[in-house]
């Protein structure tokens, strides 16, 4: 039995889960998310607890069992609490500002980078004198948030010598020694 798949999911107050024809819909205070279940995977809701089950011990069913349990759990956490990621811009002259859903980045290129964010993501930028600019992204959809953060980070990944680039707040970078004189 899959350790992740057999774990139960506690449903917090204010979250409703419905399943119709293999489509699981989770509604909560932060929003609504849907996920199509694979053939054979089923969910059962009883007394504020949700369990995910599989039809057999075939390799494919075992793999999907844990996957769908994790996806449904992320949907429940996202619609009730939400997810947040913080990015830090490390480098001289690196700046971030926003207007509505547009994020404008100055990352040392000859031109600024403008990123149009989906409406599901809320954006906040913080710039204090003497500190690195911080971009805070939050959403109820963990998958969408991860893709957007990865896209923003791909513009200037942290390099291993000086540590310049876009990194997560609290991320520890592996540094290399430079040239030995």
pLDDT exceeds cutoff 60 at 1: no
Q: For residue 71, how many C-alpha atoms fall within 13 Å in the half-sphere facing its CB?
A: 20
Q: pTM for this structure? A: 0.89
Per-residue pLDDT, 39: 85
Architecture label for domain 83-168: Alpha-Beta Complex (3.90)
pLDDT exceeds cutoff 60 at 76: yes
**Do residues 21 and 40 lie in contact, with contact meaning Cβ atoms separated by under 8 Å?**
no
Measured between alpha carbons, how far is 8 from 64 in angstroms, rounded to an integer?
16
Measured between alpha carbons, how far is 91 from 26 in angstroms, rounded to an integer?
41
Q: What is the pLDDT of residues 33-52, one digit of tens each?
A: 999 998 889 999 999 899 99
pLDDT exceeds cutoff 80 at 97: yes
Measured between alpha carbons, how far is 6 from 66 in angstroms, rounded to an integer?
8
Q: Name the superfamily (CATH) of residues 3-80.
A: Ribosomal protein L6 (3.90.930.12)
Q: What is the pLDDT of residues 22-35, one digit of tens each?
A: 899 999 999 999 99
Report strand pairing: 95-99 vs 122-126. unpaired
Q: What is the mean pLDDT of the chain?
A: 92
Per-residue pLDDT, 118: 94
Q: What is the pLDDT of residues 163-176, one digit of tens each?
A: 999 999 999 999 99
List the chain domain ranges. 3-80, 83-168
83-168 matches 3-80 in CATH topology: yes
Residue 52 token pair: 């995910």
Per-residue pLDDT, 27: 94
Mean pLDDT, residues 152-159: 95
Helix 142-154 to helix 59-80 angle, to the nearest 10 degrees?
90
């Amino acid at each position: 039995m899959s350790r992740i798949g057999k774990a139960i999911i506690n449903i917090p107050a204010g979250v409703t889960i419905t399943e119709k024809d293999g489509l699981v819909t989770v509604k909560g205070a932060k929003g609504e998310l849907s996920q199509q279940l694979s053939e054979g995977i089923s969910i059962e809701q009883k007394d504020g607890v949700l369990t995910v089950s599989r039809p057999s011990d075939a390799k494919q069913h075992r793999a999907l069992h844990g996957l769908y349990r994790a996806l449904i759990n992320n949907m429940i956490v996202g619609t009730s609490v939400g997810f947040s990621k913080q990015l830090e811009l490390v480098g001289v002259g690196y700046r971030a500002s926003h207007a509505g859903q547009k994020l404008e980045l100055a990352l040392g290129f000859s031109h600024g980078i403008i990123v149009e964010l989906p409406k599901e993501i809320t954006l906040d930028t913080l710039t204090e004198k003497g500190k690195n600019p911080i971009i805070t992204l939050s959403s109820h959809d963990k998958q969408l948030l991860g893709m957007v953060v990865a896209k923003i980070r791909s513009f200037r990944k942290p390099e291993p010598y000086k540590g310049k680039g876009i990194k997560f707040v609290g991320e520890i970078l592996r540094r290399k020694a430079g040239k030995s004189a």
